[in-house]
Amino acid sequence: MSHQLSVIGTGVIGNGWIARALAQGWDVVAFDPAPNAVERTRAFVDNAWPSLEKLGLAEGAAPTRLTFVDSLEEAVAGADLVQENVPERLELKREILAAIDAAAAPGAIIGSSTSGFKPSDLQRDCRWVPGRVIVAHPFNPVYLLPLVELVGGEATEPRQIEQAQALYQELAMRPLVVRREIEGHIADRLMEALWREALHLVNDGVATTEEVDAAVVYGCGLRWSLMGTFLTFHLAGGEQGMRHMLEQFGPALKLPWTKLEAPKLTDELIDKVVEGCEFQAADRPVAELDRRRDDFLVELLDLVQKYWPEAEGLEGRI
């Protein structure tokens, strides 16, 4: 059965959704009033397609199944799933989501790619089927990384979340249903904590951006790609697991090891971060770094999928 994804807003995230859906054999209809949006999207898909081919295309997958239209209303007509990706401004998102809600078929799910807003706030101006307007927050590059955080709002019914789960699974994603609304959801709150601490380390002259990244790339990041934070610490406790780890290292939580409040973003700190990142980039354009990242992720996904829960016979796990 063929599905249609409608994409409203075709920046980096919107284009990522487009590339993923096309690779899964979906029809995609897109709308973005920005100049050159069509050309930018087609160039984005062309750049992503070799990685998607390596990962494996679904039957019928083709870039030609993408259609651009001239209005939001035309874009969402016939959609099974609508993905909103407009800039992260609450009033703008409310306005666009209300227009989508009024134009889309009643049975369509409407997902917002918002990284921080709560779905109840997004649903507020929707008058038709507000409960189907949910947070569906992905991670860049959307066409390769499988996680999507699903968050329902006050008007959302369990069946609507279940319908959303099924649709995103058909896009070869791994939906993570967030149990209750919170700004920043789950993953961005974790990344924000690391980001704030990283800024302090650079600001205080403890490390350069390259050295902070090396601490993640060659250490904890390798473990996190398979086990995450909690299971990693469970193993750190030896045979007794997490209980022993907490007994042994729990007191360290009282020590001033971290500074979770962000440092002031002074011109000096901005210069340090920008210069550090430019040094790491080594004059390579972003498109080249994108391709390098994608090649790495394709090979990594091929490896880690052999160790995911279902490969061990642990069905029903995330």
List the structure tokens of 246. 């907490």
Count, residues in the chain:
318
pTM of the model: 0.93
- Please give the structure tokens belonging to residue 157: 């019914």
Find the largest Cα–Cα distance for the chain: 61
Burial label, 317 (beta-carbon count in 10 A; 0-12, 13-18, 19+): exposed
Closest CA to 82 of 26, 140, 42: 26
Q: What value, to the nearest 5°, has the Cα angle with vertex 227 and ends 221 and 230?
A: 100
Contact predicate 141/298, CB 8 Å: no
* pLDDT value of position 1: 65
- 147 membership: H or E segment, kind and range: strand 147-151
Cα dihedral 97→98→102→103 (10° resolution): -30
Output 148-152 pairs: Cβ under 8 A, ≥24 positions apart: 148/173, 148/174, 148/175, 148/176, 149/175, 149/176, 149/178, 149/185, 149/186, 149/187, 150/111, 150/175, 150/176, 150/177, 150/178, 151/118, 151/119, 151/177, 151/178, 151/181, 151/185, 152/119
Q: Parallel, antiparallel, or unpaired: how do β-strands 109-112 and 81-84 relate? A: parallel
By the 10 Å C-beta count (0-12 exposed, 13-18 middle, 19+ buried), 316 is classed as exposed
* Structure confidence at residue 110 (pLDDT): 98
User: What's the pLDDT tens digit per position in 3-28?
Assistant: 999 999 999 999 999 999 999 999 99
Q: Report, as ranges of residue numbers, the positions in the chain whose pLDDT lies below 50.
A: none
The amino acid at 190: L
- In this structure, are residues 119 and 156 in contact, taking their beta carbons and an 8 Å threshold? yes
